[in-house]
């Protein structure tokens, strides 16, 4: 079968709905296996990333994917799920709008609040896999 006919034979993703129950299930599964918390406000991002896994497995919906994850056959899929819903890259000024907000809004307010006081403003960067994030923060400070 040619590549194009194989693609045509694959089921099409027809439903990218992520119900509250499915979001809760995915969040719990990721937390249990990786210790990573996925909050409700990440629903749109999670839905988009799950859609890629649904397509890769030839399933039709996120609900089908969640049902599959509940089966013993899905053991090898758990790492794929975790990889799909986590951010696995870092770069200087990744998520540029965060740094713009820090430079334009947060830092001026902190400087104003500390006017007349000695000492440094300390910023903790919890997301620092290889250092680009704290260096980016330092660059805008």
80-91 pLDDT tens trace: 999 999 877 778
117 part of a folded domain: yes
Q: What is the CATH number of the domain that holds 54?
A: 1.10.155.10
Residue 102: which domain range? 96-140
How many structural domains compose the chain? Answer: 2
What's the chain's length in residues?
Answer: 141
Whether residue 68 sits in one domain with residue 36: yes
Confirm whether 90 is domain-assigned: no
Nearest partner of 13 among 58, 66, 80, judged by Cα: 58
**In this structure, is residue 64 part of a structural domain?**
yes
Is the pTM of the predicted complex or chain greater than 0.75? no
36 in Cβ contact with 30 (< 8 Å): yes
pLDDT at 14: 64
Pair 47, 107 in one domain: no
- The two tokens of residue 18 are 């992520």
Give CA–CA dist 109/106, Å, rounded: 5
Report the range out of 42-46, 64-68, 127-131 with the highest average pLDDT.
64-68
pLDDT at 139 over 80: yes
The tens digit of pLDDT for each residue in 68-118 reads 999 999 999 999 999 999 877 778 888 888 899 999 999 999 999 888 888
């Amino acid at each position: 079968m040619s590549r194009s006919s194989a693609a045509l034979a694959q089921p099409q993703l027809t439903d990218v709905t992520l119900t509250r129950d499915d979001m809760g299930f995915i969040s719990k599964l990721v937390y249990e296996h990786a210790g990573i918390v996925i909050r409700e406000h990440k629903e749109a991002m999670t839905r988009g990333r799950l859609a890629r896994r649904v397509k890769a497995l030839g399933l039709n919906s996120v609900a089908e994917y969640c049902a599959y994850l509940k089966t013993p056959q899905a053991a090898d899929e758990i790492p794929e799920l975790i990889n799909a819903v986590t951010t696995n890259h870092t770069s200087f000024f990744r998520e540029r709008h965060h740094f713009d907000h820090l430079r334009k809004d947060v830092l001026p307010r902190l400087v104003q609040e500390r006017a007349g006081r000695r000492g440094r403003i300390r910023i903790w960067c919890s997301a620092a896999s290889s250092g680009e994030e704290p260096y980016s923060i330092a660059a805008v400070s």
